[in-house]
Amino acid sequence: MKGRIFSGVQPTGNLHLGNYLGAIRNWVNLQKDFECIYCVVDLHAITVPRTSEQLTNDTLEVAAGLIASGINPDSSILFNQSQVSSHSELAWIFNCTAKLGWLNRMTQFKEKAGKNRENASVGLYVYPTLMASDILAYKATHVPVGEDQKQHLELTRDIALAFNSSYNKSFFPIPEPQIFGTASRVMSLRDGKSKMSKSDISDYSRINLKDTSTEISLKFKKAKSDPNPLPFSTKELEERPEARNLVGIYAALSSKNEEDVLKEFGGKGFGIFKPALADLAVSVLEPINNELRKLMDDKSYLRNVLKDGSNKASNISQKVLSDVYNIIGCVR
């Protein structure tokens, strides 16, 4: 029996190379071996202020980006979270299962709320229990996660174990993390020590999936590097964060390891390496860019895909939710 994958992405606009190499490309490959459920988590997105127009457009754009990258809505389930009410219902049950101390340990709330913690939304604080419900509403067995989400998956596992223990049932599976290797964490093109992010004020810090070939080439040309030629071993990259980042991106885009990249480019300067990296990135990303633009011109198609996916997701999650209500003793 195939395992079941669940993963979600926030509709915060501007999918970028870090999203593609760190998550989306891996999601595409997982379709071969797993039953895959992919969700645009629009309810998570409203934990911080945004306009309704922005949320609508970003949701459709993320869906377009996923399809353009190779997510097949015919063989996988692709939907947006707010169309499937079982996520929110199960989240309340998990709010009553999780312990306050567990949530107090979540570092992402502290990072996102910052010093103005008293004015942060309650939704931002209980975000991890909604994330747990996203996963467990489908009894997912595996969850692709980045390093920054590992703590939330651990909480999901704790909630599943606590629920099972409370009712003496082996109802929820304990989902396993799927963590990928090369370039799973792509760094900023302006600072090799900071993660590539759509929130960075400089557009030159990232390669967006919407970028044209000209924009991609220019961004890699202007990417921060150092004056030394590339080394011949990965160990020599350890104290060179920008060089290490660019080599890692090349390795991921070419499906090689970093050692093989350095065999090809070791001893060469960035004047040679950056154009080669730009050409490689364009060859991989240009077809995605073209398809993304085409899909964004047909928003009715995107809405229909998400609606159809939501119906399929509801068929699974409503059965799980109904079983949960029966287990805890709610009269149905």
Identify the weakest region by mean pLDDT among 93-102, 123-132, 179-188: 179-188
Q: What is the pLDDT of residue 30?
A: 94
Percent of the chain with pLDDT over 90: 83
Percent of the chain with pLDDT over 70: 98
Provide mean pLDDT across the span 163-190. Answer: 87
Domain residue ranges in the chain: 4-184+299-328, 203-294
Provide mean pLDDT across the span 136-150. Answer: 86
Would you please indicate which residues are annotated as catalytic (active-site) residues? 112, 195, 198
Answer whether residue 147 shows pLDDT above 80: no
Answer whether residue 182 shows pLDDT above 60: no
Q: What is the pLDDT of residue 8?
A: 95
pTM comes to: 0.92
Q: What is the pLDDT of residue 184?
A: 64
Return the HEC string of the chain: CCCEEEEEECCCCCCEHHHHHHHHHHHHHHCCCCEEEEEECHHHHCCCCCCHHHHHHHHHHHHHHHHHHCCCCCCCEEEEHHHCCHHHHHHHHHHCCCCHHHHHCCHHHHHHHCCCHHHCCHHHHCHHHHHHHHHHCCCCCEEECCHHHHHHHHHHHHHHHHHHHHCCCCCCCCCEEECCCCCCCCECCCCCCCECCCCCCCHHHCCECCCCHHHHHHHHHHCCCCCCCCCCCHHHHCCCHHHHHHHHHHHHHHCCCHHHHHHHHCCCCHHHHHHHHHHHHHHHHHHHHHHHHHHHCCHHHHHHHHHHHHHHHHHHHHHHHHHHHHHHCCCC
Identify the weakest region by mean pLDDT among 30-34, 162-166, 175-179, 274-278: 175-179
Q: What is the pLDDT of residue 1?
A: 60
Which CATH entry fits the domain spanning 4-184+299-328: 3.90.1650.10, 3.40.50.720, 3.40.50.410, 3.40.50.620? 3.40.50.620
CB 252 within 8 Å of CB 182 = yes
Q: What is the pLDDT of residue 116?
A: 76
Q: What is the pLDDT of residue 181?
A: 55
Taking only the tens place, the pLDDT of each residue in 289-332 is: 999 999 999 999 999 999 999 999 999 999 999 999 999 999 98
CATH number assigned to the domain covering 203-294: 1.10.240.10
Taking only the tens place, the pLDDT of each residue in 73-121 is: 999 999 999 999 999 999 999 999 999 999 988 877 877 777 777 888 8
